[in-house]
Structure 1
Amino acid sequence: MTMPLHFELVTPARLVLSEEVHQVVVPGTEGEFGVLEGHAPFTSTVKDGVIRVWRSENGHPEEIPVKGGFAEVSAKGLTVLAEHVG
């Protein structure tokens, strides 16, 4: 069993999501990237697309449309600062 990843999705207007999840796949400008707990720290810009969030290892992903932004993976988890969500 893997440890949960803390994931936050934020826009300039509001906190959209803040929870423990299994995995998140982000549409980075250099290509999609997946993040699990323990991922090496890095930052990336985010292109228009869909963030996919798996709440459990064997679950189905929730798809969240985003427009632009910035992603940061740190020891605290994954934070996506999106220009617009939805």
Structure 2
Amino acid sequence: MASLHFELVTPEKLVRSEEVHMVVVPGTEGEFGVLAGHAPFMSTIKDGDLAIYKSENAEPVKIRIEGGFAEVNEKGLTVLAEKAEV
């Protein structure tokens, strides 16, 4: 099974950088899930919980984030958040 490279970054530091199954992001137009191989995409994000699924049947790890952007490209998913409560 393919994995998704995921990074969560705030202005202060790199919060997470890991291989995961899926991430659900609170986009301003609604939540969206990202799996490996997702089409390139960019979205603003709203305050809410980022849900990180380490494997297909895993319970999500939730991180509260505030504002920012999410970008999906051939390298994976990068979330640039104004704040992240780890």
Structure 1 unmatched ranges of 5 or more: none
Shift in Å, 1:81: 0.1
State how far apart, in whole Å, the 2-side matches of 1:58 and 1:71 are: 24
- TM-score, normalised via structure 1 length: 0.98
Provide runs of 4+ in structure 1 moved above 4 Å: none
Displacement of 1:59 in angstroms is 0.7
Deviation per CA, 1:28-62, whole angstroms, max 9, x where unpaired? 00000000000000100000000000001111000
CA RMSD of aligned residues (A): 0.4
Identity, % of aligned positions: 67
Query: 1:7 is matched by which residue type in structure 2?
Result: F
Partner residue, 2:7: 8
Question: 1:25 deviation in Å?
Answer: 0.1
Count of residues paired in the alignment: 85
Letter in 2 for 1:38: G
Q: In the alignment, is residue 23 of structure 1 matched against residue 16 of structure 2?
A: no
Q: Any unmatched runs of 5+ in structure 2?
A: none
**TM-score, normalisation: structure 2:** 0.98
How far, CA to CA, are the matches of 2:82 and 2:69 in structure 1? 8
Return the alpha-carbon distance in structure 2 between the equivalents of residues 79 and 57 of structure 1: 20
Within the alignment, does 1:66 sit opposite 2:53 as a pair? no
Residue 44 (structure 2) aligns with = 45
Distance 1:14 1:25 in 2: 21
